[in-house]
Structure 1
Amino acid sequence: MKILIISHNSFSTFQSMGKTFCSLFSAFQRRELCQFYIYPTIPDVNACNSYYRITDRDVLHFFKKFKVYGKEIKINPASNLNHKLFENRNDESFYRNKKNRSAFRSLARDFLWTITPWFNGSLREWLRKEQITHIFIAPGGYKFIYNIALKCSRFLNVPIVTYVCDEYFFTSPQKGIVDKIKDILLKRKMKQLMSKTSLIVTISEELKNIYEPYFKKPTKVIMTGTSFPIASVPLQRGTIKELTYMGNIRCNRYISLCDIGDALDEINKEYNKNYSLNIYSGENDEGILNELRKRKSIKLNGFISGDKFRQVFYSAQCLLHVEAFDKKSIDLVKNSISTKIADSLGSGILLLAYGPSQIASMEHLRRNNCAVLVDNKDKLKNTLFKIVSMSESDRSVIISNALATANIYHDANTNGTELLNAIAEI
């Protein structure tokens, strides 16, 4: 058996989807995996027999060189260069431009991949060499990645497994004309991919309950496993004086972080305290960062990875997960469960989650009574005050539930074996 993983992001220990791949495929041998990916980064984990990459810049260079130069990526897991979001620093401004998320640019990106000859001799030779038996596609909000999976499947004549972890199909109708066109084309392409799919793997029961009956395809729930070993007992932290948030602050999550900063500022002023929120993120949008800087209790830290990430993560007094409350953001994550939740529940550290009650992440935590939850801005200040005043024994009850939940739903070895067996049966 040899699985071709097709995705935007590569395997990694520092990016959410990269970490998800490490967990999902933990039961596979390195010789059983290869990956085709798009993002201009280098894997920092030697999980696959081979990696092949074609970036947007490679596709754009067709108009200068009349050829798309994809390449097999050779990695050195010991290299510090591999622990970065971007292989080349000048790629960051190109990929992090906030205008890239507009419907017009999304359509332009899809069109670019449609008209350029990315499926060239070099890629075909690599596909033949790898002797692939199955394709595992982790798509997203761009049509071209679906086309890549369909084209490779036709060329190799192998079955497709589609991984659904974010919601792009059962979403509310878009308002703008360009947004509507993008939405219609994407959903049409999703239907095409699902018609060729042999198995759908979802990240939550909520996603399975809507995808399986609609597409009439076998569907299996495999939740994200932890990136680290699950702790055996709650970690002792004494008094909580700071919260720690690690990860993406876009999709309006920064607004929820600002809410927490406002509440901490009020508590600090009212009770003469110095409680703080530490944010570790690779965000460089000055508009977003300036909003966060307005809150005195918020301390912005840059992107960290590798041993530094592990050190900060395990030294946290209280971990934080947030989601946005606006309708568009809720629509995107309503049936998904964040990658960070698995690691947080298995850490032995108290988790605070702030987000809308109707989304799957919050429901998962509520069902298992394994985190402190806030689903309303008006309740935020009181809840934060309770957390910093909470006794070690009260925290231990919640953390013990979190560890039990992690062992049931988020054990990487168990979940990886489930995926291996599910694909082997196709």
Structure 2
Amino acid sequence: MKILVISNNSFSDVYNNGKTLKAMFSEFRKDELCMLFFRPHDEISASACEDYFLISDKEILKSVFFPRHETGAVIFPSDSMAIKEELMEQRPKMQRTKLRQQLRDIVWKMGHWNKRKLREWIEIQKPNAIFFVGSYCKFANRIAIALHKQLQIPMAVYYTDDYVVNAKPSIYRNSLIKSYQKLIEECEQFYAIGEEMADAYAQFFGKRFNPIMNIVDKSEPCPKQESTSITISYFGSLYYKRFDAIVKIAQLLNDRKTHIKKMYGINIYTSSMITEEQKIQLEKFGINSKGFVKGDEFKNAMKATDIFLHVESDDEDYIRLVKLSVSTKIPEYLMAYRPTIAFGPKEVASIRLYDKIDSRMVVFSNDKESLDCRLNRIIQLINDSSLRDELAQIGFDYACKHYIREVVARQFKNSLIKMTNEPTLNMAVL
């Protein structure tokens, strides 16, 4: 059996979406997977898969003007450094807008992606099924449908972000819904990141969606030793006005510092660009920008943390974007045996998940009535080591029940095997 995974992002050991995919497919051997992806990355996982094919925007644009151009190329994980150098030469990433999405889709519609190189690569791979990671890109839907029909093999779809159910009404949203519907009608299995998205998409599209989140290896509880100061750490991007949310919770804690008995500091670990204006805000509230960490540096930074920080913006436009999405960081935080301060609007699935696990970790940023009460709980969390240990254990137990990689990945593999009509794995070994 071999699965062709089609996604914007490659399997990764570092970046969130790629890490989630790698964990989901971790029960597959490398020779059981091949991947077609569209976004150049400077870190492509060699341990998950060895057979990659990249078609980038740059290549498609070339094919518009030079139709005979052989679009795309076989990519080896060892090519990561060359891709990194190419990315460094490009301009900074522009914010995604509906206009840019439409222009990008037009370029892909005019371009020539199904060229000899790709066809020969697919012929060598001989996949038995397609696993498509849906996104805001209509062109990716068209490619997945075309390959599904060309190869006459079953297809499954997985959604990690919502661009249709809660998106503002627009011409692009309407066309994206139609594109989703065409693709979903061709699929045999349906997945979404988290229970809320699975329920919403099942109702919207009339299909049964299975929830599956980021999954992690089970580890032994590793309590944080008591120290004179408390380290609060945020890991992740600052997109969707999350920077503003970090500053807001820092300001709220600063306003109540007379009630906080412990010294504390807030660290930000991110690859996002921080402007000079933002640096002034960080300095004002004593927030430390630590840059981007990965590998052992990432693990050590997590171990040095007393309390994780998860934030979401209460800007209405961004609530719509992340309302159904569940952060891939949450299982990692829970398994790390540390409590979390979850700060954000109660409409967002990630915040509600933390509230479900234990409400003492949560501050609803857009609920003035409960704000003081919930902030007092957070102050107690900073002051009281026994409360931190209690919430760390509750989170750890929840992760062990829902997010153990070996269990979930084995179940996921069996589901895909059923789609290809091959014998399933023996679950008794678990």
- Per the normalisation by structure 2, the TM-score is 0.88
Q: Secondary structure at the match of 1:88?
A: helix
CA distance in 1, matches of 2:55, 2:392: 43
Which one-letter code corresponds to 2:59 in the other structure? D
- Which digits, 9 at most, give the CA deviation of each residue in 1:304-329, with x for residues without a partner? 22221122122212111111112221
Residue equivalent to 2:100: 105
Q: Displacement of 1:217 after TM fit?
A: 2.8
CA distance in 1, matches of 2:70, 2:181: 28
Residues 1:387 and 2:381 are matched in the alignment? yes
Which one-letter code corresponds to 1:23 in the other structure? A
Which one-letter code corresponds to 1:48 in the other structure? C
Name which of 305, 310, 324 aligns with 2:294. 305
Residue equivalent to 1:55: 56
CA distance in 2, matches of 1:206, 1:287: 38
Which one-letter code corresponds to 2:392 in the other structure? I
Q: Is the 8 A contact 2:160 2:325 kept in 1?
A: yes
Residues 1:416 and 2:409 are matched in the alignment? yes
Name which of 137, 160, 184 aligns with 2:132. 137
Which one-letter code corresponds to 1:73 in the other structure? I
Residue equivalent to 1:177: none
CA distance in 2, matches of 1:239, 1:193: 55
Which one-letter code corresponds to 2:192 in the other structure? T
Q: Secondary structure at the match of 2:48?
A: coil
Which one-letter code corresponds to 2:13 in the other structure? T
Residue equivalent to 1:283: 272
CA distance in 2, matches of 1:317, 1:237: 9
Residues 1:88 and 2:83 are matched in the alignment? no
- Do the aligned partners of residues 349 and 36 (structure 1) sit closer, same or farther apart at CA in structure 2, a change above 3 Å counting? same
Matches within 5 A, 1:5-404: 5-41=5-41, 42-63=43-64, 65-66=66-67, 67-76=69-78, 81=81, 86-90=84-88, 93-94=91-92, 96-98=93-95, 101-174=96-169, 180-226=170-216, 228-267=217-256, 275-284=264-273, 286=275, 289-290=278-279, 292-293=281-282, 295-369=284-358, 372-376=361-365, 378-379=371-372, 382-390=376-384, 392-404=385-397
Q: Displacement of 1:371 after TM fit?
A: 6.4
- Do the aligned partners of residues 321 and 8 (structure 1) sit closer, same or farther apart at CA in structure 2, a change above 3 Å counting? same
Q: Is the 8 A contact 2:339 2:391 kept in 1?
A: yes
- Do the aligned partners of residues 310 and 109 (structure 1) sit closer, same or farther apart at CA in structure 2, a change above 3 Å counting? same
Higher relative contact order (CA 8 A, sep 6+): 1
Q: Is the 8 A contact 1:8 1:37 kept in 2?
A: yes
CA distance in 2, matches of 1:312, 1:252: 24
Q: Secondary structure at the match of 2:91?
A: helix
Q: Secondary structure at the match of 1:76?
A: helix
Q: Displacement of 1:224 after TM fit?
A: 1.8
Q: Secondary structure at the match of 1:415?
A: helix
Q: Is the 8 A contact 1:230 1:406 kept in 2?
A: no
- Do the aligned partners of residues 272 and 388 (structure 1) sit closer, same or farther apart at CA in structure 2, a change above 3 Å counting? closer
Cα RMSD over matched residues?
A: 2.5
Q: Is the 8 A contact 1:223 1:415 kept in 2?
A: no
Which one-letter code corresponds to 2:220 in the other structure? A
- Which digits, 9 at most, give the CA deviation of each residue in 1:209-239, with x for residues without a partner? 222244333422222202x543335333445
Q: Displacement of 1:260 after TM fit?
A: 1.9
CA distance in 1, matches of 2:280, 2:171: 33
CA distance in 2, matches of 1:102, 1:214: 24
CA distance in 2, matches of 1:113, 1:347: 42
Which one-letter code corresponds to 2:53 in the other structure? Y
Q: Is the 8 A contact 1:198 1:217 kept in 2?
A: no
Unaligned runs of 5+ in 2: 420-430
- Do the aligned partners of residues 189 and 371 (structure 1) sit closer, same or farther apart at CA in structure 2, a change above 3 Å counting? farther
CA distance in 1, matches of 2:20, 2:207: 23
Q: Displacement of 1:387 after TM fit?
A: 2.5
CA distance in 2, matches of 1:139, 1:289: 33
- Per the normalisation by structure 1, the TM-score is 0.89
CA distance in 2, matches of 1:289, 1:92: 23
- Do the aligned partners of residues 237 and 248 (structure 1) sit closer, same or farther apart at CA in structure 2, a change above 3 Å counting? farther
Moved more, 270-279 or 316-325: 270-279
CA distance in 2, matches of 1:270, 1:232: 30
